[in-house]
Amino acid sequence: MDASTAAQRIETLRQQLQQASYEYYVLDAPTLPDAVYDQLYRELQDLEQAHPELITPDSPTQRVGEKAATRFSSVKHNVPLYSLENAFDMAEFASWQERWQRYWQGRDRRAKSESSEPLVEYVCELKIDGNALALTYEHGRLVRGATRGDGVTGEEITQNIKTIRSIPLRLQMDNPPAIVEVRGEAFLSLEVFQQINQEREAAGEPLFANPRNAAAGTLRQLDSRIVAKRKLDFFAYTLHILDHPSDPNPQPPDQQLTLLESPSSNLPTPHSPLPSSQWNCLELLTQLGFKVNPHRQICDSLEAVQDYYDRWSTERQSLPYMTDGVVVKLNSLTLQEQLGFTQKFPRWAIALKYPPEEAPTVVERIGVNVGRTGAVTPLAELRPVQLAGTTVSKATLHNADRIAELDIRVGDTVIVRKAGEIIPEVVRVLPELRPEGTEPFQMPTHCPECEQPLVREEGEAVIRCVNASCPAILRRSVIHWAGRDALDINGLGEKWVQQFVDRGLIQTVADLYDLTVEQLVTIDRMGQKSAEKLVQAIEQSQQQPWARVLYGLGIRHVGSVNAQVLTESFPSVEKLAAADIEAIASVYGIGSEIAQSVHQWFRVPANQHLIDRLRKAGLQLAREVDPNEAISTPKPLAGKTFVVTGTLPTLTRDEAKSLIQTAGGKVTGSVSSKTNYVVVGEDAGSKLKKAEELGITQLSEAELQDLIASSEQG
């Protein structure tokens, strides 16, 4: 390729990669699969290597990462959080080994003369498909958690990180160093990920493509209650001991750590030296209270690394979380320090990634599925194929735009991917294998269930059935109503719902409460005892609280967490139905889109009639109020909004938050013009600066307690 052609291709690749990085790091809405990104990145590297005169400082190959998103406060990492160089086969791994060995041999002669040849010993760890976090502990207490960001600057998300139960709030250590920096990976288990997508589907929200995207979206939630509900997990994989936050160098090996004695843990002697190897580092993290991935191994040769890599290429399919490769690190921390870093990567570690799992198959049929919110989603029905340990016979086609982009047709041979993707998708069509006489697929103009016209709203990619009486919408609505997070009606499965709708026994969820044993025994394979149990389960659901009822109504965008938040502010259906959009949107964590959806739902006459029927059926449409709460005096901080920043003298942030909320106040994670007070402790950062700019009243811990006490007395 001549220089002119190479220059054009390089510019195209840079634009594609920069756009993909922006979508991934800034918007948290990636559209380019990892495998495609890696392929384009490798092509750019090869072209720049062949034409070094075309390398520019703004090339994606010349910097650590892209800038962090701006919805949270930006913080500088105490130690840069570098990404890893990738290898995609053992030949590339061997090349990496040769490179670091050449670099080590070419070091300063004096340093080399004082060192013997390095012992090649690697630590292999599974590469968890999640999100890197940096945790800062000051004197043993967790004071800050940040996302990776661009590797130098990340986003401060401490309150969200504190909801992760596998992250200790305090280290199991006496007399800890001033600063301990712990690095690790936040992730979602496959089971939790599937539950989240089920809830999003029920709320009419787009599904997450994979656990990594779901974890990223969870970590950046403004409401920490949503984060807590999603049950993120965390594996720690390294730590740094610092004199102070600006010190990027670990303490020398002769510094001593004192670990807390614990009868349930196999701790070393009270005074243990800092680890001298990555393996010791992982053991120390375990002793300090962190979860460390158990599937780690020391390897003393390239062959041993390959055995580990090959073994987990198949065994990883049985893990309860996603992995996309193996991280290989030199075990010696001394050798790591001698090798150092390039501009982008550590020289002493590499990610040995597994190729994406793809398989060819044939499209036997293209159909559509009508969801509970009326969304019509096209699906490719495939000739069954083994992929990532499961048999795949269906793959999502997302929407009409994706179908047009693929030009997919019945009879086409397609490539299906599931690498890191829980939901199989069609990656590409192989038109050269297309049989003659195929026709482009056209999305239906009318609902396949009720034959009513479908609607595509402006600005949306989704086509919807808007007929509230559509049998498909009714079936999905009833299944959602009976779900575990809603009314939790045990025994009311999809097969029964299908028959109830087909027989005309139910037209809305309210009809469930009119069903009798005599009616149910006429259903195919429904015996007397089964009918009695189901009627009893339906009756028991009448006692479910108002928050579950609200979630069960299936209002678009209202998940179970949002329903709980709404019912705390609107303790009865009457108050919520009467609220205007502004009042609903003012509830912390709700926002205008949800508020508009809720407001519109209560304006529909059929929905008003449904509420009347549910009330007559005995459903709980109001929140129970504690008698003591009902007769108590008004809470002293009611209507006031607080932000807590920095380290308080005696209270943790959670304790301060609880104190404020008990007194009726609201605690948020960011400072705005609506904030009334900022409670300030030591080492307060950007939140204090913004409070000063906005002229918001600042309180110390003592002043906060005085404010509560004086308000109660007043």
Residues 445-473: pLDDT tens digits?
999 988 889 988 776 778 888 887 788 88
Q: How would you class 610 by CB atoms within 10 Å of its CB: exposed for 0-12, middle for 13-18, buried for 19 or more?
A: middle
CA distance 657 to 649: 14
User: How confident is the model at residue 312, as a pLDDT?
Assistant: 93
Q: How confident is the model at residue 592 (pLDDT cuts 50, 70, 90)?
A: confident
How does strand 131-138 pair with strand 141-147? antiparallel
On whether the CB atoms of residues 471 and 482 are closer than 8 A, the answer is no
Q: What is the mean pLDDT of residues 379-392?
A: 81
Say which residue, 206 or 338, is predicted with more confidence: 338
Which pLDDT value is given to residue 625? 60
Please state which of the ranges 82-96, 202-216, 482-496 shows the lowest mean pLDDT.
202-216
Q: Which of 250-259, 371-380, 693-702 has the lowest mean pLDDT?
A: 250-259
In this prediction, residue 137 has a pLDDT band, given cuts at 50, 70 and 90, of very high
Q: Which residue has the higher pLDDT, 151 or 256?
A: 151
Q: Identify the pLDDT of residue 102.
A: 87
Cite the DSSP H helix spans in 635-675. Answer: 653-662
- More confident site: 278 or 693: 278
Note the pLDDT of residue 251: 44
What is the pLDDT confidence band of residue 565, given thresholds at 50, 70 and 90? confident
* 230 confidence band (pLDDT: 50, 70, 90): confident
pLDDT at 249: 45
Given a cut of 90, whether residue 517 has pLDDT beyond it is: yes
Q: What is the pLDDT of residue 131?
A: 92
Higher pLDDT, 503 or 245: 503
Distance from C-alpha of 462 to C-alpha of 612, rounded to nearest angstrom = 32
Give the other-Cβ count within 10 Å of 139's Cβ.
15
Least confident of 78-87, 512-521, 542-551, 585-594: 585-594
Among the ranges given (29-43, 154-168, 223-237, 350-364), the one the predictor scored with the smallest mean pLDDT: 29-43
CB atoms within 10 A of CB 525: 8
Grade residue 309 by pLDDT with cuts at 50, 70 and 90: very high
Q: What is the dihedral of CA 549, 552, 555, 559, to 10 degrees?
A: 100
Q: Provide mean pLDDT across the span 64-83.
A: 66
pLDDT of residue 272: 43
Give the model's confidence band at 423: pLDDT under 50 very low, under 70 low, under 90 confident, else very high.
low
Amino acid at 11: E
What is the distance between the alpha carbons of residues 683 and 604, in angstroms, rounded to a whole number? Answer: 52
d(CA 514, CA 613): 10
Give residue 60's identity as a one-letter amino acid code.
P
Indicate the length of the chain as a whole number: 714
Q: Band of the pLDDT at 557, cuts 50, 70, 90? A: confident
Mean pLDDT of 621-632: 60
In the prediction, which pLDDT does 150 show? 72
What gap in Å lies between CA 5 and CA 600, rounded to an integer?
56
State the average pLDDT over residues 160-182.
Answer: 87
* pLDDT at residue 64, as a whole number: 38
For residue 468 the two structure tokens come to 């509230």
The residue to which tokens 């072209």 are assigned? 47
pLDDT exceeds 60 at position 574: yes
The one-letter amino acid at 42: R
Contact, 172 vs 262, CB < 8 A?
A: yes
**pLDDT given at position 32:** 73
pLDDT value at 644 more than 50: yes
pLDDT greater than 60 at residue 247: no
* Torsion 134-136-142-144 (CA) sign: negative
Q: Is the pLDDT of residue 534 over 50?
A: yes
Q: What is the mean pLDDT of the chain?
A: 82
- pLDDT value at 28 more than 70: no
In whole angstroms, what separates CA 314 from the centre of its chain?
25
Q: Which of 67, 76, 127, 616 is catalytic?
A: 127
- Of 264-268, 294-298, 484-488, 499-503, where does mean pLDDT reach its minimum? 264-268
Beta bridge partners of 378: 368
CB neighbour list of residue 692: distance below 8 Å, 6 or more residues apart: 698
- Whether the pLDDT of residue 665 is over 90: the answer is no
Cβ atoms 186, 131 nearer than 8 A: yes
- Looking at per-residue pLDDT, the higher value among 371 and 303 belongs to 303
Burial 170-186 (b: 16+ CB within 10 A, else e): ebbbeebbebbbbbbbb
Percent of the chain at pLDDT above 90? 30
CA separation for the pair 580, 424 (Å, rounded): 41
Residue 95: its H or E element? helix 90-105
pLDDT above 70 covers what percent of the chain? 83
**Binning pLDDT at 50, 70 and 90, where does residue 512 land?**
very high
pLDDT given at position 54: 84
DSSP-derived pairing of the beta strands 677-680 and 697-699: parallel
How many Cα atoms sit within 13 Å of 689 on the Cβ side?
5
The model's confidence at residue 556, banded by pLDDT at 50, 70 and 90, is confident
Average pLDDT over residues 131-152: 89
Helix, coil or strand: residue 563: helix
48 close to 172: Cβ distance less than 8 angstroms: no
Asked if the model's pLDDT at residue 277 lies above 80, the reply is yes
Measured distance CA(540)–CA(99) in Å, rounded: 68
- Is 689 in the active site? no
CA angle 331, 332, 336 (to 5 degrees): 100
Q: What mean pLDDT comes out for the span 308-328?
A: 90
- pLDDT score for 117: 56
Q: Which of 299, 348, 296, 356 is nearest to 322 (CA)?
A: 356
